[in-house]
């Protein structure tokens, strides 16, 4: 089952479910967030709760997308309580690009093992622990709160000071925190973990700066288990023509970490187990247009698709105007 959110003609949020080809409104659901919190509080599985509520009017989701009526598939009434985070170097083959970005030489000209490659090897050796065991922690980063989340179809804004504006096609886990602080997974969705790879390449310690960017996810959330072998396509369209296109792989069959291990190392921090919060946690990628020498421009369209996740995630690129910030003393 796939679920998503749209705005109807009266500007009211409608939660819709897609199963068996038809997309229909979920009766009595005010938002995906309220639906997920109800499931957490009642102990009823999300799919079961949806079945109990029943499905109503049929919706043309493609038409809603074209009209700009699709929302992010989950949000929070207070954007400060939605967290955008992610992990890196989690996919088989993901080290190659990062290693080339961070390559360094010793004083005698011998290549040293980069921090990226060290982290990648740690994942290969300890990212898939036995059941009940805790594996090695992954690279982790913070992207921002709900103010940085961009709806499917809306523009990803790159700061004027950015050196690069590149896509990262990923799978994200969607979570809510129950009243007792327990994390609950709503499902999985496509995401564009939009980043500045040139800034990151300057120095690995700039990784935190490079990640403080918009992100988009959706349009639909896949309820249930994540397929072990996900095969999708990432592309950039410029002036109606495909500028760049490449397949991407995800799912645990193509990863050096289990999803459970990545989830543990995020939610082990009590700050991320605050009742009522929403988390969008991105699991990494091995495919980047930046690795192929692509430099994006304002107006380019990012497209990410994978069959299990419904409609493709599309976002145009915009460049923000320069802003000079002056701090005033009180």
Can you give the pLDDT at residue 78? 98
Q: Supply 120's token pair.
A: 């990648």
Q: How far is CA 263 from CA 95, 110, 128, 267, 312, in A?
A: 21, 37, 12, 6, 25
Q: How high is the mean pLDDT of the chain? A: 93
Can you give the pLDDT at residue 259? 97
Residue 164, phi then psi, degrees to nearest 5: -160, 155
Please report, rounded to a whole number, the percentage of residues in the chain having pLDDT higher than 70: 94
User: In the predicted model, is pLDDT for residue 106 greater than 60?
Assistant: no
The length of the chain, given as a count of residues: 330
User: In the predicted model, is pLDDT for residue 103 greater than 80?
Assistant: no
Can you give the pLDDT at residue 97? 57
Average pLDDT estimate for 10-38:
94
The three-point CA angle 289-294-296 to 5° equals: 100
**Which of 91-100, 172-181, 189-198, 315-324 is predicted least confidently?**
91-100
Average pLDDT estimate for 302-315:
97
Report residue 204's pLDDT band, with 50, 70 and 90 as the boundaries.
Answer: confident
Task: Give the containing element (helix H, strand E) for 169.
Answer: strand 169-177
Can you give the pLDDT at residue 139? 93
**Which residues, 6 or more positions from 296, have their beta carbon under 8 angstroms from its beta carbon?**
164, 165, 166, 167, 236, 289, 317
Average pLDDT estimate for 15-37:
95
User: In the predicted model, is pLDDT for residue 105 greater than 70?
Assistant: no
pLDDT tens digits for range 120-162:
888 889 999 998 899 999 999 999 999 999 999 999 999 999 9
């Amino acid at each position: 089952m796939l679920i998503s959110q749209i705005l109807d003609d009266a500007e009211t949020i409608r939660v819709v479910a897609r199963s068996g080809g038809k997309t229909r409104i979920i009766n009595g659901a005010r938002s995906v967030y309220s639906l997920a919190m109800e499931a957490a509080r009642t102990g009823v599985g999300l799919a079961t709760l949806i079945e109990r509520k029943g499905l109503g009017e049929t919706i043309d989701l493609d038409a809603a997308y074209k009209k700009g009526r699709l929302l992010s598939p989950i949000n929070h009434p207070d954007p400060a309580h939605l967290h955008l985070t992610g992990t890196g170097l989690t996919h088989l083959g993901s080290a190659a690009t990062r290693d080339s970005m961070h390559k360094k030489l010793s004083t005698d000209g011998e290549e040293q093992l980069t921090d990226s490659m060290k982290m990648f090897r740690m994942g290969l050796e300890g990212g898939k622990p036995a059941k009940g065991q805790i594996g090695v922690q992954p690279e982790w980063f913070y992207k921002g709160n709900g103010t940085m989340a961009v709806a499917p179809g809306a523009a990803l804004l790159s700061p004027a000071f950015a050196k690069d504006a590149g896509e990262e096609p990923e799978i994200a886990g969607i979570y809510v925190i129950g009243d007792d602080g327990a994390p609950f997974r709503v499902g999985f969705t496509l995401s564009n973990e939009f980043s500045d790879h040139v800034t990151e390449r300057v120095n690995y310690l700039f990784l935190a700066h490079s990640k403080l960017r918009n992100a988009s996810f959706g349009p639909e959330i896949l309820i249930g288990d994540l397929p072990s072998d996900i095969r999708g396509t990432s592309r950039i369209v410029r002036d109606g023509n495909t500028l760049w296109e490449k397949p991407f792989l995800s799912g645990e069959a193509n990863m050096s970490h289990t999803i459970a291990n990545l989830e543990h190392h995020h939610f082990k921090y009590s700050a991320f187990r605050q009742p009522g919060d929403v988390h969008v946690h991105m699991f990494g990628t091995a495919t980047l247009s930046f690795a192929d020498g692509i430099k994006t421009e304002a107006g380019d369209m990012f497209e990410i698709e994978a069959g299990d996740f419904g409609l493709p995630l599309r976002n145009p690129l915009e460049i923000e105007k320069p802003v000079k910030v002056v701090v005033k003393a009180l």
